[in-house]
């Protein structure tokens, strides 16, 4: 890529990146584990927005299981965000992998 061509298109690129940021703020992915008893919601920036626990998941005698379910649900949501990023912005990233 010629850097001078990029400078010519800087305003268009800036607008495109601004639109992308807006899409990432609005994008939502819900991950679940334990058959849906634990759910987490992330936005396109991988920020955790919410955690939903079915009361059956809250057993004070088995806190490690609940912790594992939360981690698994977060991992599930993260994979969904990565797939969205790959599909939506992969061509713009020039082959760079999603975070």
Closest CA to 86 of 39, 31, 29, 38: 29
Per run of 10 residues, the mean pLDDT along the chain (length 99 residues) is 74 84 92 97 95 94 96 97 88 53
Task: Specify whether the CB–CB gap between 81 and 25 falls below 8 A.
Answer: no
pLDDT of residue 98: 47
- For the domain covering 3-89, report its CATH number: 3.30.1310.10
What pLDDT score does 83 carry? 94
Four-CA torsion 44, 31, 40, 26, nearest 10 degrees: 30
**pLDDT in the model for residue 3:** 74
Nearest Cα to Cα of residue 48 among 68, 34, 29, 65: 29
């Amino acid at each position: 890529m010629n850097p001078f061509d990029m400078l010519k298109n800087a305003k268009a690129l800036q607008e495109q990146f601004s639109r992308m940021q807006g899409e990432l703020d609005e994008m939502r992915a819900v991950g679940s584990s334990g058959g849906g008893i634990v759910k987490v919601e992330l936005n396109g920036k991988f920020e955790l927005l919410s955690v939903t626990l079915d009361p059956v998941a809250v057993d004070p005698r088995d806190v490690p299981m609940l912790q594992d379910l939360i981690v698994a649900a977060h991992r599930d949501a993260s994979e969904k965000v990565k797939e969205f990023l790959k599909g939506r912005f992969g061509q713009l990233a020039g082959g760079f992998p999603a975070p």
